[in-house]
A and B are shown apart, each in its own frame.
Chain A
C-alpha cells in the first residue's frame, strides 16, 4: 500500500460507507489503539513516524501532542479540533480527503483523541464544502450507531464525541487561534501566544488543532507502524504527501506521492508540463503564501527540509504555476488583494500595510506606478516580516511578493517605463480593471 490516504478514494464515486469501510480494514486502528496500547504508546509511535503537520507550518505532530497535559490532574474536558477550513488559495487537497473518505477522517479523530485523551472533537469545516458536510454527518451518525463514538468506546474507559461545525467564510479562521475564537462564537481574531492552545485552548482547556491531511495519516501509522510509515517517504520526513498543481499545465490535479518527490516529477510527470503555447516562469510551491520558485529549483524534493533551502516553504504542497502569458504584477496584485481583503483588521501593520501594498500594485497595473513605489513594496516585505505582526497572515502575504520582486523585477519596471501593463492587450482582454471592486460582504442594494 503506497498511497494510504487516498486508497479508498475513487473519482466521482460515493465514498465507502461503514460496512464497506470496515471490510477494507477501516477502524482497525481504533481497536488496536484502545485494546492494546496506552495513550502514551500511541503518542510515541506518532513521534517515531516523523509525521509533520500538513496544513502549512510542518510542525512535528508527536511533539505538538506532547505539550498536552496528561493524567488524572489534567484539566478537563480536552478538545481535538480538525482544521478543515481549507482556504489557502491554490489548495485543494483536504476537500479530496473529506469528500472521498469521510470515515477515514472520523477514525483519525478517534485514535488521535485517544492519544491525548480528548473528550470532545470538533470538525471546523468551511461553509462552501457542502458535500463534505453531508458526508461527514452521515459518517459520524454511522460511527455513533456502531459504538465507535459515545461513552466507553469498544468497552474501554475512553469516551469521545464528535461534532461538525460549519463556518461562514474568512481565511483567517484557518489560523489556529483565530479558529478557536471562531468556534467559541467570537470574531475570528488570532489570540496571543503563549499560552499555546495545547495547554490553554478552546474555552481555556487543552486543545489540539490539526489539519485534515495530517490527522488522516495517524490510523495508518498505528496499524502499520512507524518504520513502515517512514519508508513511504523518499526524504527525512515520513509518509506520503498529497501534492497538487494548478495553472496552465496540461493535466492539473492532485496526487498522493512519496514525501520528497521532486518538483519536476510532479510538474512535468504528473501534471504533464505546460500547456501548449505557455512557457514556465515560476511556481508558488504550497499555496498563495509561499515564495515563488523558478526553473533552477525544479529538481528540489518537495519536503519540509529542502524547499526552505531555496527561500520558500512547502506550505500545503499544492503548487500554483505562473506562465509567460500571465502578468507577474497582476499575479502579485491578485495575491495581495486576497490577503488585504482577508486581514482580520486586528493589527495595524497587517490591515494598513496590505491595503497599501494592494493599491500600489493596482496603480502599477494601471500604468500609473512610479519607480520609488517599488521601494515602498520592498519596504513592506520587511515591515510585515515574521514577528512584526500579530499572526502569520501578513508575513505569508509578503513571501510571494518579495520573490516576485526578486525574480520578475524587470516586469515591474517595464510597467512603469511603458506606463501600461504589457500583458493587458493579450489573452485577458483589454478591459482594464484586474480587481473586483467589492468584497463579498458588501452587497449593494438592487438598482
Chain B
C-alpha cells in the first residue's frame, strides 16, 4: 500500500503528462525516496495507480540502473568508473573504498550503512576522480578525502 504522502507526490508528477504511463519513472522514484528501494509489493501498488500491469512497470523499472529493485544500505555510494575518472585513478579509489568498507562493488556493509556501486560519468570530469554519496557529489577524491567524506554519512 502506498502512503498518502507517496500517493500525493505521484499524483503531482502525473499531472505533468497527458498519459499516466509517462509518470512511471518519477512514480517509482517517489517510492524509492520514501522506502529506499522498490519492492514487488510497492511496484504492484504503483502499477495499479498508473493503470499498468506489474510486468509492464517492471520492464521499465529494470531498464534503469538508478531504480533499486533490491534493498540497499542507508547510504549509496556511486563511484564513477568512466574514462576521465579512470585515467585519473578511480581504480585506486575503488580499492580504498572496498578495503575501508570490507565489501566489493555491488555489496552492502553488514551494518546496512553503505551500498557501493559503480556509476557512469558524473559530468564533473575536470575534478576527477569523483563519486556521489546519495545525492551529493564529491570531487578530487583521494584515499584521505574518502575517509573524511564517509564520516558525514552515519
B149 contacts the other chain (CB 8 A):
no
> Are B121 and A91 in contact, CB atoms less than 8 angstroms apart?
yes
B49 close to chain A: CB less than 8 A = no
> With A185-B22, A437-B105 in contact, do A246 and B110 touch (Cβ < 8 Å)?
no
Name the A residues within 8 Å of B70 (CB-CB): 443, 445
Chain B 1-42 per-residue mask, 1 if CB under 8 angstroms from chain A, else 0:
000000000000000111111111110110000000000000
A393 interface residue per 8 A CB criterion: no
Given contacts A89-B84, A90-B84, A334-B83, contact A440 B118 (CB under 8 A): yes
Tell me, in angstroms, the Cα distance from A387 to B60 when the chains sit together: 27
Q: Chain B residue with minimal CB distance to A441?
A: B65
Give the residue among B66, B92, B112 with the most A Cβ atoms within 10 A.
Answer: B66
A263–B27 Cα gap in the complex (Å)?
44
Contact B87 A321, beta carbon cutoff 8 Å: yes
Q: Is the interface of A mostly helix, strand, loop or mixed?
A: loop
Report the minimum CB–CB distance from B69 to chain A (whole Å): 8
The reply to whether A95 and B124 form a contact with Cβ atoms under 8 Å apart is yes
Chain B positions 42-89 with a Cβ under 8 Å from a chain A Cβ: 50, 59-60, 62-68, 70-72, 78, 81-84, 86-89
Contact of A320 among B83, B92, B103, B120 (CB under 8 A): B83
**Interface residues in A310-340 (C-beta closer than 8 Å to B):** 318, 320-323, 326, 330-331, 334-335, 337-338
Cβ-defined contact, A168 with B66, below 8 A: yes
Minimum CB distance partner of B106 in chain A? A438
Q: Does B132 contact A (CB under 8 A)?
A: yes
Question: Size of chain A's interface in residues, with CB distance under 8 A?
Answer: 74
Which residues of A, 264-288, contact B by the 8 Å Cβ criterion?
A: 284, 288
In the bound complex, how far is the Cα of B59 from the Cα of A92, in angstroms?
A: 30
- Least CB distance, B136 to chain A, in whole angstroms: 8
Say whether A184 contacts B22, CB under 8 Å. Answer: yes
Nearest B-chain residue to A433, judged by Cβ: B91
Q: Which listed residue (A169, A321, A344) contacts B65, Cβ 8 A? A: A169
Using known A-B contacts A171-B120, A443-B70, A444-B106, determine if residue A203 contacts B18 with beta carbons closer than 8 Å: yes
In the assembled complex, which residues on chain B have CB atoms less than 8 Å from the CB atom of A95? 123-124
Binds B, one of A15-23, A126-134, A351-359: A126-134
- Decide: A338 near B25, CB < 8 A? Known: A203-B18, A245-B126, A438-B106: no
> Is B91's CB under 8 angstroms from A434's CB?
yes
Among A94, A323, A443, A447, contact of B123 (Cβ-Cβ < 8 Å) = A94
Q: Given the complex, which residues of A lie within 8 Å of B104, measured CB to CB? A: 437
Asked if A398 is at the interface (CB within 8 A of a chain B CB), the reply is: no
Interface size on B, residues (CB 8 A): 64
Segment from A42-50, A150-158, A214-222, A248-256 that makes contact with B: A248-256
A428 touches B91 (CB 8 A): yes
Q: Would A185 and B25 count as touching, CB distance under 8 A?
A: yes
User: In the complex, are the beta carbons of A444 and B107 less than 8 A apart?
Assistant: yes
Decide if B127 is an interface residue (CB 8 Å cutoff): yes
B126: contacting residue among A92, A342, A444, A447, CB under 8 A: A92
Closest to B121 in A: A89
What is the CA–CA distance of A185 and B29 in the complex, to the nearest angstrom?
A: 13
Residues of the B chain whose Cβ atoms lie less than 8 Å from the Cβ of A188: 63
Identify which of A167, A170, A252, A437 contacts B125 (C-beta below 8 A): A252
Q: A185 to B19, Cβ gap below 8 A?
A: yes
For B105, give its contact among A171, A254, A436 (CB under 8 Å). Answer: A436
A288–B87 Cα distance when bound, in Å, is: 13
Is A163 at the interface (CB under 8 A from chain B)? Answer: yes
Q: Out of A86, A131, A168, A438, which one reaches B118, CB within 8 Å? A: A438
Q: Which residue of A is nearest B21, CB measured?
A: A185
In chain A, positions 210-265 with a C-beta closer than 8 Å to chain B are 244-248, 252-254
Known: A246-B84, A428-B92. A443 touches B72 (CB 8 A): yes
- Supposing A171-B120, A185-B25, A438-B106 touch, asked if A338 and B83 sit within 8 A by C-beta, the answer is yes
Q: Given A89-B120, A170-B63, A318-B125: A248 and B88 within 8 A (CB)?
A: yes
Residues of B within 8 A of A440 (CB): 65-66, 78, 117-120
Further contacts, 20 of them, CB under 8 A, given A246-B125, A338-B120: A89-B83, A89-B84, A89-B125, A92-B124, A92-B125, A129-B123, A168-B65, A169-B66, A169-B119, A171-B120, A184-B19, A248-B88, A252-B126, A252-B127, A284-B83, A322-B87, A334-B82, A429-B92, A439-B118, A440-B66
Q: Which A residues form the contact surface with B (CB < 8 A)?
A: 86-92, 94-95, 122, 126-131, 163, 165-171, 182-188, 203, 244-248, 252-254, 284, 288, 318, 320-323, 326, 330-331, 334-335, 337-338, 341-342, 344, 427-429, 431, 434, 436-447
Could you write out 18 A-B pairs with CB less than 8 Å apart? A86-B123, A91-B121, A122-B16, A128-B122, A128-B123, A168-B25, A185-B23, A245-B126, A246-B125, A284-B83, A323-B87, A337-B81, A428-B89, A431-B91, A438-B106, A440-B78, A441-B65, A443-B108
Pick the 4 closest A-B CB pairs, nearest first.
Answer: A246-B125, A440-B65, A168-B64, A185-B21
